[in-house]
Amino acid sequence: MRNKNKGFTLIELLVVIAIIGLLASVVLLALNTARGKARDAKRVADMRQMNTAMEMYFNDNNAYPTMASGALCATSGGCTVGNVIATSLTPKYIATIPMEQTPADGTCTYPAAAANGTNYYYYIYGSTNANYTITFCLGSQSGTYAPGPHTLTNVGIQ
């Protein structure tokens, strides 16, 4: 007599589960790559937005924001964007100061004066406050920008 129970054997179920697991891992790897690229695109967009805000501030004040113009930073070598220029630029020139996307991508190192490696860093140099530098890091290729450290200055992104 034949067994009339219809169903799958244990081996068939294990093979199907293994295939689903393999496909899920491939999808998750692709998703993580896309997330990293999205964070890098956001970093570049943030820097372009900061450039616009800084130039509008310069047009009104003939100088870029300095540590003396509302800074909350006590370090001498540089401060994070948020605590140096937030009171100078917000809300007139930019709604909020952009903060670094997390988790941090790439292998960039930031200056020792910086509190940690997950913020954009802002520096004034020159006696007339006619220049500024914001340092940021890309984890992968973003448009025409290679992975690694980059700076935004009054002449653009390098």
Within-domain flag for 19: yes
Cross-sheet strand order for the sheet of 79-80 = 79-80, 121-125, 131-138, 148-153, 156-157
Domains of the chain: total = 1
Comparing 45-59, 83-97, 102-116, the range with the smallest average pLDDT is 102-116
Which has the higher per-residue pLDDT, 113 or 3? Answer: 3
pLDDT the model gives residue 56:
92
Does 101 fall in a domain? yes
Per the prediction, the chain carries an average pLDDT of 75
pLDDT of res. 127 = 45
pLDDT at residue 120, as a whole number: 62
Residue 45 inside a domain? The answer is yes
> Would residue 88 count as lying in a domain?
yes
| Torsion from C-alpha of 45, 91, 156, 46, nearest 10 degrees | -20
* pLDDT score of 24: 94
Global confidence as pTM: 0.68
DSSP for 43-64, please give it: HHHHHHHHHHHHHHHHHHHSS-
Q: Which domain holds residue 90?
A: 10-157
Q: Is residue 135 part of a domain?
A: yes
Task: List, for residues 56-69, the tens digit of each pLDDT value.
Answer: 989 998 888 765 44
Confidence category of residue 13, pLDDT binned at 50, 70, 90: very high
